[in-house]
Structure 1
Amino acid sequence: MTAYEKISINNAGLNYFVQYTLIKLNPLLMVRLLIVILAAYGVYTLYNKFIAVNRALTEQENKSKNIEFTDYEEVDKK
């Protein structure tokens, strides 16, 4: 058995997927799907950055107002 046969056997599912999507389906559809996936990922990362910035600003605001959140488990232990 040659190395090529081993590779084709190991990647049989991937080869089938690539051949099916590139030959059977419209390649333009694949491009649109890729654009949608990348756009969704971009929105997801921007949303996470917005949440992180908002959380940091809230913590900074609470520190400036000297608001400290107590851990109720620590209070119960005392």
Structure 2
Amino acid sequence: MKQLLRGVGIVLGLCFVSAVQALPTPTGKVILTVTGNILNTNTAEGTAEFDRKMLVDLGMVDRQTKTPWSEGSNLYQGLI
């Protein structure tokens, strides 16, 4: 579950970042490719590719919350 939440955080973070600035070309091994109806791309195929450094540079945040569906508090980690 924690990995799924991180994945969702990454995708949401990428949406916000791509709306604000131009997307650079990855210099390292591509580890994430985003396809679909996206505005900012960095490939000739119209996709957005990211290497590890690009994802790390987005920044991570921790949020601790409580929900009525789980006991105790939950820690969520993801991109800004």
Give the TM-score normalised by the residue count of structure 1. 0.30
- Name the structure with the higher helix share: 1
Give the TM-score normalised by the residue count of structure 2. 0.29
The one of the two structures with greater contact order (alpha-carbon pairs below 8 A, sep at least 6) is 2
- Name the structure with the higher strand share: 2
